[in-house]
Amino acid sequence: MKSKLASALSLSVLTGVGLWAAGCTSSAGSPPGREAPLTAAVPRQETLPPAEPDAAVPPSAAAALASAADTDAADAGASGDAPPAATSPPEAPAPSPGVNETAAAAAASQAAAEAAAEGREAVTAVVYAGSSANAEAEAFPAALDKKTVSMPVLNYHSIGHDPGNSLVLAPDKFAAQMSYLAEHGFTPLSLTEFILILEKKKPAPPKPVLLTFDDGYEDNFEHAMPVLQKHQFPATLFMSPGVAGQDGYLNWEQVKQMHESGWDIQPHGMTHPHLPKLSPEKQKEEITEARRLIEEKLGTKADVFCYPYGEFNKTTLSVLEEAGFRYAFTIRQGWTTSAQPPLELKRIYVNGKERLSEWVRRLSKP
């Protein structure tokens, strides 16, 4: 498995533009012009999100960053290594042609217009990530104002060991991140709680955060679930049912155990395809079959989607709308806000190469 990952990594991540070796074929490696069968395996290496421009970290976050930096330095001292420079996600190509940028721009313009009419800024929240979990003054609220709600949504993939692959986070780093959330007063949310807060139907707790995991790797069960159980944190898994039980991926018994322990299970396409490359009929099949299988296996509702590779087009959006999906997550970087189109929510990519201090910085930047 690891050798396959190294091969995929050398063909994509090192190019710095997120190109895929499979780009000359369909998502299953079929010849150009032929659609992949629904049993295609999911590639380990996702298309990575583009790096966001740096923004100033609020002064109130300085203590948390200093604490995380001290932890990094201590770790480096123990190993004898000098701390590497912080890394951002490698740049990826722009979203596929046809992505509904107009809707996003319209929503942003509307929010700005409403803010101007009321004599306020569209986004006025100050984010706090202070070092004291009990300091009420340092709790950052999800509600920015009466019109907008905003929360960080963390985007994880594999929790394991694969040096050099930014999509694979070492178990000890994951444990340190979850300990940070617990020690600094964060409140991880279930997907239901997240939706109620985003829709302003429920007040936000101190420092809300949604933990999401893409693809359905078996190591999520082996390494992530025990840590989350220790802290009693819920999480959301976006899986591709068509590859369940394949080498390296969760089987249905594991998925059921995760669901029973507080994980929300939602669709990520049936076979993790490049959706914009498919016909409307195949897109619908990939999306609705994934939902049907999850609901059938778990007896739960699966109406929140996550785009494989972060790719979608107008057809994808239409299929989701017609099928009754409430929300969909992209790999566009930033906090999720209620001003974003429901089917184009942003997240914060977790880079496996980053040290804790860099992760805290991006967690603390709206």
Cβ-proximal residues to 2 (8 Å cutoff; 6+ apart), any chain: 162
pLDDT exceeds 50 at position 46: yes
Pick 64 or 190 by higher pLDDT: 190
**What is the reported pLDDT for 69?**
52
CB atoms closer than 10 angstroms to residue 77: 11
The pLDDT-based confidence of 40 (bands split at 50, 70, 90) is very low
pLDDT exceeds 50 at position 43: no
Give the tokens for residue 119: 């004599």
Give the tokens for residue 304: 């929140």
Residue 7 near residue 160, CB atoms below 8 Å: no
Give the tokens for residue 273: 């395809």
Give the dihedral of Cα atoms 110, 111, 116, 120; nearest 10 deg. Answer: 170
Pick 268 or 99 by higher pLDDT: 268
Pick among 1.10.10.10, 3.40.710.10, 3.20.20.370, 3.40.920.10: CATH of 51-363: 3.20.20.370
pLDDT exceeds 50 at position 28: no
HSE-CB for 224 with a 13 A CA cutoff? 31
What is the gyration radius of the CA atoms in the chain, in angstroms? 20
The pLDDT-based confidence of 70 (bands split at 50, 70, 90) is low
Integer Cα distance of 305 and 309 in angstroms: 12
* The model's pTM: 0.68
Average pLDDT over residues 305-312: 98
pLDDT exceeds 70 at position 59: no
Phi, psi of 306, deg, nearest 5: -135, 125
**What is the reported pLDDT for 147?**
80
**Terminal alpha carbon distance of the chain:** 36
Average predicted confidence (pLDDT) for the chain: 75
Give the tokens for residue 183: 């020690």
pLDDT exceeds 70 at position 88: no
Average pLDDT over residues 339-351: 97
Phi, psi of 35, deg, nearest 5: -85, 150
Q: Where are the domains of the chain?
A: 51-363
Residue 327 near residue 304, CB atoms below 8 Å: yes
pLDDT exceeds 50 at position 19: no
149-208: per-residue pLDDT in tens? 999 999 999 999 999 999 999 999 999 999 999 999 999 999 999 999 999 999 999 899
